[in-house]
Amino acid sequence: MNSDALSCLACTGSKLVVDATSAKCKQCGTDYPVLRGAIDFRNADRDLSAGYDFAIDNLYAAKLDEVFDEVTTVSELRRLYSALRERRERGLSLADLDPRAVIKEDDIRPISYSTADAAHGRSILEKIPLYLEGSGLPALPNGVALEDGAGEGFYIVGLSEKFAQLIVLDLSMTYMMLAAKIIDELGLPNVTLICASAEHLPLKDRSIDFVHSNNVIEHVSDQGRMIAEANRVIHPNGLLFMVSPNRFSLYFEPHFRLPGYGFIPEPIRRKIIMRSQGRDIDNISLRSLGELRRLISDNFDGLTKYSFIPRRLRHTQTGGFIRTSLTRMLNLPGLGRVADFAINRMALGLMPYHVVLGAKSKT
C-alpha cells in the first residue's frame, strides 16, 4: 500500500499509520477502519449521495467479505453480488441470505481474469494520447494515478500497468471488495484502496499526477465540489480525464436506455421510466455540454479540451453502431478532418458523452 498521498479528513494531517484493520492519524488520533486493505474514510452524515444507502452497501460488503478467502477470482464475487441483489429485489431479506448457499444454488464457479477483462483500462490509455494530439496539453504522466470512482473495477488492471502507483477510490465498500479481489487474484503490488467520497478526497494537495473519472460525475450529488477536489489534488501540469454522459444526446441514454432523454420534458420522461422500469430518475444527474463546461470552468484551474472520439482512433472498445460509424468517418482519406470538425466541434453537444481533458495550471 502506498500511503504517501493519503491525508486525514479530520485534520488534513498526512501521518497515517496503516495496518490490516485500521489507519490511524498520528496528528489527531482519528482511527479509520480497514477492510481487505481498503481504508474506510466515509462519514454517513457528510458523504451523501442520491440513491446510496450506507447500511445496505455495508451489508453487501459484509456478505462478500464472508466468503472472500474461500473464492479465488473476482468473477465469483461479481456473480455473487449480482445474485444477492437479484434476491433482494425479489423481496428476500439481504441480512438473512447465506452467501455460501447462494454460490451453491447459482453454481458460481471461478473464471480466471482474462485479457478481455483488462481491455477497458488498456483501451483508455491507448486513446488518451490521441485525445491529446493538437491540444497543447502535456503528455500523459506515469507517476501516481487516481481512479476517481472505480465501480466494479474494470480499469484497475490497465491503470496499474501504466502508473507507478494507483489509488482506487469508490464510495461503495462493496466495490472495494471487488477491487481487493482483483488485487488478490492478480497480485498487483502498486494499488491502494480508499473507500471515500469523490467530493471529499482523503488526499494531499498536489499529490496526484493523473485523475481518471469515467461515467462517475452523473452519480455525484455535488458535482462542482467533485471537480474542485480533483483540481486540488492534481499536481501542477498533471492531467484530468473525465467522461460525462450527455443529457442532450440523440442516442440512447446509458442508464435508462431512452433515446433523446434530455429533449423529453422532465415530467414525461420521469413517468416513462417509472412505468417501464420502475426506477426514479433523481439518482442520475446528467449534464449538457454547456453545463459541463461551466462546472469545469468554475472549479478547475487549467487548460481544457472537450471532445467525443479522437481523430485517429481506429476502433472502440464498446463498439456499437454509432461509435463504429463515426470512427470510420474520422478515418476517411481526405474527409477525416472534416468529420473531426463536425463530430468534435459542430455536433459535439449532441454526442452520447463528452470527454474532458484538463491540464492543471503550474501556478
CA distance 245 to 310: 16
Is residue 363 over pLDDT 80?
A: no
Is residue 143 over pLDDT 70?
A: yes
Is residue 39 over pLDDT 80?
A: yes
pLDDT tens-digit map of 40-73: 999 988 987 877 899 999 999 999 999 999 999 9
Judged by average pLDDT, the poorest of 10-19, 21-30, 140-149 is 10-19
> How much is the average pLDDT of 214-218?
95
Is residue 249 over pLDDT 70?
A: yes
Helix, strand or coil, per DSSP, at residue 120:
helix
Q: Is the dihedral of CA 97, 77, 150, 27 positive or negative?
A: positive
Three-class SS string for 231-275? HHHEEEEEEEEEEEEECCCCCECCCCCCECHHHCCHHHHHHHHHH
What's the pLDDT band for 93 if we cut at 50, 70, 90?
very high
> How much is the average pLDDT of 151-179?
96
DSSP 281: S
* Count, residues in the chain: 363
248 and 271 Cβ atoms separated by less than 8 Å? no
Q: Where are the domains of the chain?
A: 119-308+351-360
314 and 242 Cβ atoms separated by less than 8 Å? no
150 and 170 Cβ atoms separated by less than 8 Å? yes
The HSE-up count of residue 71 (CA atoms within 13 Å, CB side) is 30
Q: At 154, list the grid cell.
A: 474494470
Which residue reads 449538457 in cell numbers?
A: 288
CA distance 175 to 164: 22
Of 311 and 8, more confident: 8
Terminus-to-terminus CA distance in the chain, angstroms?
A: 30
Of 337 and 202, more confident: 202
pTM beyond 0.85: yes
pLDDT at 44: 87
Nearest CA to 249 among 262, 237, 267?
Answer: 262
CA distance 16 to 32: 10
Is residue 11 over pLDDT 90?
A: yes
Helix, strand or coil, per DSSP, at residue 105:
helix
pLDDT at 333: 81
Is residue 314 over pLDDT 90?
A: no
330 and 313 Cβ atoms separated by less than 8 Å? yes
Rank 108-117, 126-135, 192-201 by mean pLDDT and report only the highest.
192-201
- Provide CATH code, domain 119-308+351-360: 3.40.50.150
Nearest CA to 349 among 264, 268, 285, 287?
Answer: 287
Is residue 12 over pLDDT 60?
A: yes
pLDDT at 99: 98
124 and 147 Cβ atoms separated by less than 8 Å? no
What is the torsion angle, in degrees rounded to the nearest 10, for the CA atoms of residue 310, residue 230, residue 244 and residue 77?
100
Nearest CA to 356 among 200, 240, 193?
Answer: 240
Which residue reads 455535488 in cell numbers?
A: 222
Give, to the nearest 10 degrees, the angle between helix 54-66 and helix 74-89. 130
Across the chain, mean pLDDT equals 92
What's the pLDDT band for 338 if we cut at 50, 70, 90?
confident
Is residue 319 over pLDDT 60?
A: no
pLDDT at 349: 95
What's the pLDDT band for 355 if we cut at 50, 70, 90?
very high
The HSE-up count of residue 103 (CA atoms within 13 Å, CB side) is 18
Is residue 315 over pLDDT 70?
A: no
Is residue 24 over pLDDT 60?
A: yes
